[in-house]
């Protein structure tokens, strides 16, 4: 796995994590959206990069 792919995943995870904590402090609906967004980021990286650890 190249550093660029790792960085992409780390940035995506970090953004999703901050979105998730923001959602938890606001309301359950926002938290659900943040979780869905986390999943879509990981799916996108999987399809773009191939094998995803």
pLDDT in tens, 6-35: 665 666 666 666 655 555 555 556 666 667
Per-residue buried b or exposed e for 29-45, using 16+ beta carbons within 10 Å of the residue's own CB? eebeebeebbeebeeeb
pLDDT band per the 50, 70, 90 thresholds, residue 42? confident
Q: Are 41 and 16 in contact (CB under 8 A)?
A: yes
State the distance between the two ends of the chain, measured CA to CA, in whole angstroms.
Answer: 9
Q: Given this model, what pLDDT does residue 35 score?
A: 72
Angle at 30 between CA 10 and CA 46, to 5 degrees: 35
pTM (predicted TM-score): 0.27
């Amino acid at each position: 796995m190249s550093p660029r792919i790792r960085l992409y995943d780390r940035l995506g995870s970090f953004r999703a994590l901050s979105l998730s904590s923001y959602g938890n402090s606001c309301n359950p609906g926002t938290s659900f959206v943040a979780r869905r967004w986390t999943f879509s980021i990981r799916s996108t990286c999987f399809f773009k990069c191939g094998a995803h650890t």
